[in-house]
Chain A
Amino acid sequence: DGGITQSPKYLFRKEGQNVTLSCEQNLNHDAMYWYRQDPGQGLRLIYYSQIVNDFQKGDIAEGYSVSREKKESFPLTVTSAQKNPTAFYLCATELYNEQFFGPGTRLTVL
């Protein structure tokens, strides 16, 4: 099966802890993206990567970090510097202007 997997589906974190969200794809797409979605709001771009070992900040990168060491993987770390991390996080790949989204990870800070 080709697709995008995100894990875990639900994640709970205590304040002050860093947490890493996984995103893996076997679509062989070069471009990968991380978005954040809050209730009643559109998706907001956190980071994106066009190629291995390269990534760019999106509109709301503060408090987040990423790596792109392999084509298949684009993990997102939510650091303690992110003041309001509770949200639904979506990973996506892209081919010919069409974005393909994973199932999402819902992060809740306790």
Chain B
Amino acid sequence: SQKIEQNSEALNIQEGKTATLTCNYTNYSPAYLQWYRQDPGRGPVFLLLIRENEKEKRKERLKVTFDTTLKQSLFHITASQPADSATYLCALDMRTGNTGKLIFGQGTTLQVKP
């Protein structure tokens, strides 16, 4: 079965630095890979989607890469701010039709210190 792994240890960085979060998966590559942000006690919020034929995607201070050879996605937040502190979830989009399953990783908690 498809497995997805994110670093379970919290990532602590200093404000202004670039945070890099890793998402690794096994078996076959998904059509899409998504990243979500989740704050404590709240539902996740969609951030970015990257397709298997895209190497990199950017949105403001966020950048996602997708390497199907390494079976890995990296999520970068540049010029990080304390407000970026949250848990970030990676999700593999395994759909074959219009809708279907997302397989979520357990998330990595980011703490940005002022």
Whether A101 pairs with B99 at a CB distance below 8 angstroms is no
Given contacts A40-B8, A42-B89, contact A94 B41 (CB under 8 A): no
- Name the residue of chain B whose CB is nearest to the CB of A104: B43
Contact-residue bracket for chain B: 20 to 34
Within 63-114 of B, Cβ neighbours of A (below 8 Å) are at: 89, 93, 95, 98-107
Contact between B46 and A42, CB atoms less than 8 A apart? no
List the A side residues contacting B44 at CB < 8 Å.
43, 90, 99, 101
Are A104 and B41 CB-contacts (below 8 A) given A43-B89, A97-B32, A97-B49? yes
Q: Tell me the A29-70 residues at the B interface (CB within 8 Å).
A: 30-31, 35, 40-45, 48, 50, 58-59
User: Is A102 interfacial (CB 8 A cutoff)?
Assistant: yes
Contacts of A21 in B (CB 8 A): none
Q: How far is the CB of B10 from chain A (nearest CB, A)?
A: 11
Determine the chain A residues whose CB is within 8 A of the CB of B104 once the complex forms. 35, 42-44
B45, B93, B99: the one contacting A31 at CB < 8 Å is: B99
Q: Does A98 contact B (CB under 8 A)?
A: yes
Shortest C-beta distance, A29 to chain B (Å), equals: 10
Most chain B CB within a 10 A radius of its CB, from A4, A40, A101 = A101
Residues on A lying within 8 angstroms of B by beta carbon are: 4, 30-31, 35, 40-45, 48, 50, 58-59, 88, 90, 92, 94, 97-104, 106
Q: Which residues of B contact A (CB under 8 A)?
A: 4, 8, 32, 34, 36, 41-46, 49, 89, 93, 95, 98-107
9 shortest A-B CB distances, which residue pairs? A101-B43, A42-B104, A43-B104, A31-B99, A42-B106, A98-B46, A50-B99, A101-B44, A42-B105
